[in-house]
Chain A
């Protein structure tokens, strides 16, 4: 499988701060959903910004779809990547929903007539067309994130980066946004990088990378990562719900010789156990 993003031996620190990344390398496969997990301050958001050229690298290289991230390629790279940030308020540039979706198109000098078509299609894609006249003050956090996603869909990128995009939403809004991204990913064959400290969000990923204090401490499929509950707790993250349940069952004498299963498989296992006896 092709690596759509290659992070090669990068080092980075903010001004007057100690080195955050020291010789970090990481690959993102084309078409996968990659979760980058770690507690607040672990450096995961900074990594996203480096990939999008929003912070400037000191050492090492990042290559996005064959293009080196540098000043010269920056606009092409940003055409390939759509980012949804944490605070819904701070990425809403337009005065209304439709103006906000148009913002990225205006930047790329898309012709007006075409722009109206794209805005309509994108807003319908995220079920926000009926809200096109609303001002941001009259939208919920989840609705604003939907608009942000419409703004990304409008530019047909290859990669979506969710930078803690659901952390300020209530549980319903969170689920809602993740389902939406999943749907859009499947429809447009996108690569998704979700940066999060929500374990249940990470559980839906194809692959998980664990970052702690700027270091990649683990990288594997969710089954393997979540089997290591001690490691998760050590770096301040929760074990997924199913792992907690498996541990509790063990305490009651119901033993599963695995530390993690996703909910579908755990349900199947419990069902079998209950009916077989």
Chain B
């Protein structure tokens, strides 16, 4: 199968037919290929969370249809059938450590697999390998998750999702509040799951450097609509438009823009440090003149 997920003209209205009604998604169509690494960006309230919750059947479309791994969800899908959709889609929510509840770390990680009917022994096996994946030491297995540090709790929560062996993994700002080291470790884990385990990764983020460094496809949302889809290079090619979407440029593009503003002829904005350094070294070698 070449596509993991497709949205066809999906509209979602919260609290339809009440004075609180809000259109959170408007006529969204989107294809996410199998084993892709897709970043979904957009300012707060642009509809990113609503979009990804459809992939996990936590929300049903008000109009249109969503297809996930060959199964179709529409407004007519009964709630009873939704659990089946979720088995192969793992979702790491923002601040996922808030969902921990079991007495021990290992029990909490086993919780997901067991809900889908996996035997105790297999769940334990899955939990142990998930712990290894996220870099949690085995000695923590019998500890209470509430005695761990914030960063460790976050890993337990992520392990709890990975233990279900999802084919699609949704990460909703997985590094919010982490320090730089924790940030890098989680993002490298996502990359590894994508490269080695062939997972389809969907990353909701505000960190444009992560978009550049990890994503193969970028989806930009604004006011419940998808306004642009493409590679990071295509998305960030027009800085004015990026700012208009209330987004930032990646650090290197932003720094390059400052160089351009002060008269250094960078040309097309580079996205990574390496590209920027290469460009500058070329300029130095060519002995280019400034516009002054």
Contacts and interface: CB of A to CB of B under 8 A. Distances in A.
A197 interface: yes
B277 A267 contact: no
A253 B262 CA distance: 23
Nearest to A249: B277
Interface string A261-277: 00100011011011101
B30 interface: no
B251 interface: yes
A248 B276 contact: yes
B143 interface: no
A271 B248 contact: no
A18 interface: no
Interface string B261-292: 01110000000011011101101111111101
A236 B179 contact: yes
Given A40-B151, A274-B264, A237 B179 contact: yes
A245 B281 contact: no
Classify chain A: how many residues form its interface, as a range.
35 or more
A271 B258 CA distance: 11
A244 B281 contact: no
Given A140-B44, A171-B248, A245-B273, A41 B149 contact: yes
For A241, A244, A270, A273, the residue with the greatest tally of chain B CB atoms inside 10 Å of its CB is: A270
B182 interface: yes
B259 interface: yes
Interface residues of B, number: 43
Given A236-B181, A252-B281, A267 B276 contact: no
B180 A274 contact: no
A271 B264 contact: yes
Contact of A199 (B151, B176, B180): B180
B264 A277 contact: no
B284 A197 contact: no
8 shortest interchain CB distances as A-B pairs: A277-B287, A236-B181, A248-B277, A252-B281, A170-B206, A238-B180, A197-B179, A39-B179
A81 B220 CA distance: 42
Contact of B180 (A141, A197, A245): A197
B251 A241 contact: yes
Interface in B219-264: 246-248, 251-252, 255, 258-259, 262-264
B248 A40 contact: no
Given A41-B149, A197-B180, 15 more contacts: A39-B181, A40-B149, A40-B151, A40-B179, A170-B44, A236-B181, A237-B180, A245-B255, A249-B281, A263-B255, A267-B258, A271-B290, A274-B288, A274-B290, A275-B288
Given A197-B179, A238-B180, A171 B206 contact: yes
A51 to B, nearest CB: 22
B70 interface: no
Contact of A248 (B149, B150, B207, B274): B274
A116 B287 CA distance: 62
A168 to B, nearest CB: 6
A270 B262 CA distance: 10
Given A237-B179, A245-B277, A274 B150 contact: no
Nearest to A175: B248
A244 B179 contact: no
16 contacts: A40-B149, A40-B182, A140-B44, A172-B246, A197-B179, A197-B180, A236-B181, A245-B277, A248-B273, A249-B277, A251-B277, A270-B264, A271-B290, A274-B284, A275-B288, A277-B285
A251 B277 CA distance: 9
A87 to B, nearest CB: 9
B189 interface: no
B207 A171 contact: yes
A170 B177 CA distance: 10
Residue of B258, B277, B289 with highest tally of chain A CB at under 10 A: B277
A167 interface: yes
Contacts of A237: 179-181
Nearest to B150: A40
A268 B258 CA distance: 11
A253 B282 CA distance: 10
A254 interface: yes
Contacts of A273: 284
B178 interface: yes
Interface string A69-112: 00000000000000000100000000000000000000000000
B43 to A, nearest CB: 7
Contacts of B177: 86, 167-168
Interface string A242-258: 10110011011110000
Contacts of B248: 171-172
Nearest to B206: A170
A251 B176 CA distance: 32
Of B149, B151, B180, B182, most buried by chain A (CB within 10 Å of CB) is B180
Nearest to A268: B262
B164 to A, nearest CB: 28
